[in-house]
Structure 1
Amino acid sequence: MRTALITGGTAGIGAAFARRFARDGLALVLVARDRDRLASSAEELTETFGVPVEVLPADLATEEGIAAVEARLGDEKHPVDVLVNNAGFGFRRGFLEVPLADELTMLKVHVEAVLRLTRAAVAGMRTRGKGYVVNVASVAAFVPRGSYGASKAWVVQFTQGTDRDLAGTGVRLQALCPGFVHTEFHDRAGMDMSSTKEWMWLDADYVVQESLRDLARGKSVSIPSRRYKAAVAAARKAPLAALGMAARGFGRNR
């Protein structure tokens, strides 16, 4: 039985990946901070899909949390075939209004944890000649919007570069870049999204479906939905000043 490890696996896009993989018969390792929610999610997935679910409480904003997940990914007796780096968060306020310690915590989760967990997973995958890593980024990666967008831009560049480095090994990487998704992300950040048009929202299960479809096609970057593909294409051609204005509309999303 193949095994998928998902960080932030109890809510939003992470939970959608867990449901999809469980439906497809994969064993799961769910990583999150909330022990009770992990236990509840594991019980529900096992009862619904009949797959084994391992829980790993870990805070990826800490050294101990990252090291614990690295150790699980490096367990050769219980290999992980699919890694989804989904854990992340954003801020309601602008860069100069957010405490520096909070900004550094975000970089710990979005950058350091993604780098270290990808490396830990890929080492064994390359030896076995197969494996997949999905690093959840955002369309915010393509517009200038403070440290959140910058961290997601790093995820995209890192993922594409590492995917090229691993060409021919049987290991593939993808940066998943959704727009606005119906999850807990914005509520947790205290963001008022009432003015966001309904057509801009995506469903988490749809995002996962598109990610896996693009992964099967060998795409190292997945941008779910035609409207966001068009938005990113336009952003890549737009002047920097225009991008800055557009970023106010969708620069904080997940």
Structure 2
Amino acid sequence: MPTALITGATAGLGAEFARQLARRRADLVLVARTEPALEAFATELRERYGVAVEVLAADLSVAGDVDRVAARFADVANPIDLLVNNAGFGLPLSFADNDVDDEVRHLRVHVEATMRLMHAAIRAMRGRGGRIINVASVAGFISRSTYSACKSWVIGFSRWANVEYAPDRISVTALCPGFTHTSFHERMGLAPGEEGVPDWMWLDAADVVGEALRDAALGKAVSVPSWRYKAIVALSRVLPPSLTAGVARRGRV
């Protein structure tokens, strides 16, 4: 059976990826910071779907923890076939008002950890193939602080890697959802409805993950779930940055 390694696996899109892949009979390696939550979720998946589930407790803002997760790709007896780089978090204030150490930690998780795990995965997948899904955001197409900048890097790097490693039968897909019902906003201290985002802009996590898995199977470099967000991304290419930045301030994608 194929094996998927998922970071940020106990909540939000990460947990939804785990459930949908387990339903498809994929074995799993789950990565998150809190070991009790990992163990509880792993037990749930084993009992419900009958798949093998490993757990790796790791804080991906810490270099040594990233190295431990990257080392899992070197296990040739139990290879990883799919990497889902999902770990991430948002910051509640504007750049100048956030603590700069929090901004650096944010950068390490969204960019450095993503790059290091991709590097380990691609090295292991060359010669046999594999898939990588990097969870980005439609925020990567607009101007909004460091979150937007991090996600823009993920999109650009995924596009390049998808072409570069296609001869090795490795696909790399940047998943770019819009506002999605998960715990992401709650972890920033925002109550439901506090984001100032209309109901029609919200997506369901199951739909986002389902479309991401389909697009990755097709080898697409970028996956933007839902036609309404595809239209928003298309508009972002022609609208002035001052306008898109003003709209983006209404909420956090």
2:243 equivalent to 1:249: no
1:1-254 counterparts in 2 under 5 A?
1-128=1-128, 130-194=129-193, 195-250=196-251, 252-253=252-253
Classify the secondary structure of the residue corresponding to 2:250.
helix
Paired AA for residue 227 in structure 1: R
Percent identity at matched positions?
50
What's the TM-score once normalised by structure 1's chain length?
0.96
Deviation at 1:170, TM superposition (A): 0.7
CA distance in 2, matches of 1:215, 1:73: 20
Deviation at 1:219, TM superposition (A): 1.2
CA distance in 2, matches of 1:136, 1:201: 17
Classify the secondary structure of the residue corresponding to 2:124.
helix
CA distance in 2, matches of 1:141, 1:231: 12
Paired AA for residue 143 in structure 1: I
Deviation at 1:193, TM superposition (A): 4.8
Q: 2:58·2:69 contact (CA, 8 Å) conserved in 1?
A: yes
**Which 4+ residue blocks in structure 1 deviate beyond 4 angstroms?**
none
CA distance in 1, matches of 2:26, 2:217: 17
CA distance in 2, matches of 1:145, 1:74: 37
CA distance in 1, matches of 2:173, 2:74: 20
Deviation at 1:10, TM superposition (A): 0.8
Question: Deviations for 1:114-145, whole angstroms, at most 9, x for unmatched residues?
Answer: 000001011111122x1000000001001100
Paired AA for residue 110 in structure 1: H
Deviation at 1:69, TM superposition (A): 0.4
CA distance in 1, matches of 2:113, 2:153: 12
CA distance in 2, matches of 1:38, 1:153: 29
Question: Deviations for 1:136-173, whole angstroms, at most 9, x for unmatched residues?
Answer: 00010011000011000000001111111112211100
CA distance in 2, matches of 1:231, 1:116: 31
| 189-198 or 142-151, larger mean C-alpha shift | 189-198
Deviation at 1:249, TM superposition (A): 2.9
Deviation at 1:243, TM superposition (A): 1.7
Classify the secondary structure of the residue corresponding to 1:186.
helix
What's the TM-score once normalised by structure 2's chain length?
0.97
Paired AA for residue 86 in structure 1: N
CA distance in 2, matches of 1:2, 1:212: 14
Paired AA for residue 116 in structure 2: R
Deviation at 1:192, TM superposition (A): 4.4
Classify the secondary structure of the residue corresponding to 1:180.
coil
Q: 2:87·2:109 contact (CA, 8 Å) conserved in 1?
A: yes
Q: Provide the alpha-carbon RMSD of the alignment.
A: 1.0
Paired AA for residue 233 in structure 2: V
Over 3 Å counting, the alpha-carbon distance change for 1:193 and 1:248 in structure 2 is: farther
Classify the secondary structure of the residue corresponding to 2:207.
helix
Paired AA for residue 202 in structure 1: L
Q: 2:13·2:86 contact (CA, 8 Å) conserved in 1?
A: yes
CA distance in 1, matches of 2:166, 2:59: 32
Classify the secondary structure of the residue corresponding to 2:237.
helix
Classify the secondary structure of the residue corresponding to 2:155.
helix
CA distance in 1, matches of 2:166, 2:177: 25
Paired AA for residue 178 in structure 2: G
